[in-house]
């Protein structure tokens, strides 16, 4: 049993590495899909653009989140953004506050979508778009069955009519 436990530990480590690599590739593909979608929409502003990207087996909604570059802690820019968000002098002196990154991204994204100015301490030059596919789902009526053959080839795809 100890040999099996040792083997399964190595399998778990390998599986974790595979998962990390798969996530990197997935993020890259999501970014490319969203960038192509955005560029095609921008190329013809009068064309009707579908709100979802649809493939053979899956569909997803492109989403762009703006990622601000945060000023270094203790700088005047950092104090300005924290005061804008409601921090008091005492809070800043005790240095116990931490920004919740997803909420800050959401806030900055909403401001840019409405065309409003960024809060003090953040600059437009420090913004970077982060593309992803939200609500990535399998399309209805599509069945993908993976069958491995003796030669290591192939999967079968079918569509219900």
DSSP 38-107: HHHHHH-TTS---SSEE-SSEEEEEEEEEEPPPPPTTSHHHHHHHHHTT--HHHHHHT-----HHHHHHH
Q: Does some domain include residue 97? A: yes
> What are 91-133's pLDDT values in tens digits?
888 887 888 888 999 999 999 989 999 999 898 888 999 999 9
Q: Does some domain include residue 78? A: yes
Phi, psi of 39 (to 5 degrees): -65, -40
Q: Does some domain include residue 14? A: yes
- Cα distance between residue 92 and residue 82, in whole Å: 8
144 pLDDT band, cuts 50/70/90, is low
* Residue whose token pair is 């802690």: 73
Say how many domains are in the chain. Answer: 1
pLDDT score recorded for residue 93: 86
Tokens at 144, concatenated? 């993908």
Mean pLDDT of 50-62: 88
Cα 1 from chain centroid (whole Å): 41
> What are 30-54's pLDDT values in tens digits?
999 999 888 887 787 777 778 888 8
pLDDT score recorded for residue 147: 53
The overall average pLDDT reported for the chain is 84
Q: Does some domain include residue 151? A: no
Mean pLDDT of 72-83: 89
The range of the structural domain enclosing residue 93 comes to: 2-139
Report whether pLDDT(25) > 90: yes
pLDDT score recorded for residue 8: 96
Q: Does some domain include residue 49? A: yes
pLDDT-above-70 percentage for the chain: 89
Q: Does some domain include residue 147? A: no
């Amino acid at each position: 049993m100890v040999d099996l436990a040792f083997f399964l530990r190595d399998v778990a480590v390998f599986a974790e590495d595979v998962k990390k690599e798969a996530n990197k590739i997935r993020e890259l593909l999501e970014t490319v899909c969203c960038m192509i979608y955005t560029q095609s929409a921008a190329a013809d502003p009068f064309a009707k653009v579908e709100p979802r990207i649809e493939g053979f087996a899956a569909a997803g909604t492109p989403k762009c989140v703006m990622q601000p570059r945060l000023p270094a802690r203790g700088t005047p820019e950092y104090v300005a953004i924290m005061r804008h968000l409601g921090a008091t002098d005492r809070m800043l002196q005790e240095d116990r506050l931490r920004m919740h990154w997803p909420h800050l991204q959401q806030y900055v994204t909403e401001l840019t979508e409405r065309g409003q100015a960024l809060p003090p301490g953040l600059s437009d030059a420090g913004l970077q778009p982060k593309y992803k596919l939200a609500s990535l789902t399998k399309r209805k009526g599509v069945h993908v069955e993976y069958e491995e053959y003796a030669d290591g080839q192939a999967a079968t795809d079918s569509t219900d009519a």
